[in-house]
Structure 1
Amino acid sequence: MSDLGESIKKFPLGLLLALYLGYVGFDLYSFINMDDSPLLQKKAVLAGLKKSNIELQRKIQTSQEFYKNLDAKKVELRQMAQKLDEMKGTLTEEMDTAGFVKMVITEAKKVGMTVQSLKPKGSRPKELYVEHSFDLTFKAVFVQLVVFLERLSNLQKIVRIERFSLRPVTASSARFVELEGIIELNSYTYISSKADEIGKGAPQGGGP
């Protein structure tokens, strides 16, 4: 026993302390930094849970926005269906060019306006309808032109004035100054295939 005590006394305590501290330091390093350490495993689990929670919150937010937009789309679809029904009351599926020309010339004659020509200019497809343009060349006094345009605006068939140009052809000192000009008139037909598809797909009733 005394020999063991003597041996311990002879063993360098500094080296023993260094070995002990090295062991503790390595154990702490392993606990903190090694891939299989409990600390890193716990951190990995927590990071995974945090990532899953963020992804879940994102999906919940996306779902809420989807249903919110869905309600807005339903309202928009109902409005489009209502607009379509209103359009069908005044628009036809085919453009009756001869009938349109006759109608415009008749309205011009009623106010005493002279129609020099009325020619189709072209068609422009829109989302639910087709816009048909005509150039009307005429002569009239200002009052006749105003009354003519008012009569066009009151027709059951939709007619819009896109643009026009005017110039006087008589002296400005005359009692009634005669004007000469060109008016671009637009008439419309609805696109039945697409329009009817939207109308049929619109939700009925007041529910969502």
Structure 2
Amino acid sequence: MQLSSLTAVSPVDGRYAGKTSSLRPIFSEYGLIRFRVMVEVRWLQRLAAHAGIPEVAPFSAEANALLDSLASDFQLEHAERIKEIERTTNHDVKAVEYLLKEQAAKLPELAAVSEFIHFACTSEDINNLSHALMLREGRDSVLLPLMRQIAEAIRELAVKFADVPMLSRTHGQPASPTTLGKELANVVYRLERQIKQVAGIELL
């Protein structure tokens, strides 16, 4: 069956796909693979920078540039190659390791230490960091900007309707008079408190 908004497993990718499209590069399988590559690359660079691991000498600027490009400019073609490798390995994280070894082969300096890719790591060492990075990017690049945009829009309405009287209610019963602007300002205050709390969550 062809994938469409009607055949998607979840309404997140179906009915609401248009509203969640900005999350695809982050929370899709592609996104998970991208962050796995980033974690593996940074780990290898960390090994090279550690004086106590002489088997992996400090990398040249050229080697670091190649690795940085893999981490920061990860392409869909890379993810597709990883899925192709996975059909043989039947192991998603191992397929990432093999892709990185293929890329390392482009530079003798990296090819010489390619066996140290994923060195001393389990899959969970890579996955838990990748998931945390996904959550952090989703929060910082999508969720928080939207929350701040909503707060600002309500703030403008609070100013616009500052003098519009309305009857407040308590337990569904009429209460003391208020203004629409004051009630909207209260919403802004509460929302900004939540924004601060979400932004303060330590993910890594």
- TM-score (ref. length: structure 1): 0.26
Query: In proportion to residue count, which structure has more helix?
Result: 2
Larger radius of gyration: 1
Q: Given the two structures, how large is their TM-score scaled by the length of structure 2?
A: 0.27
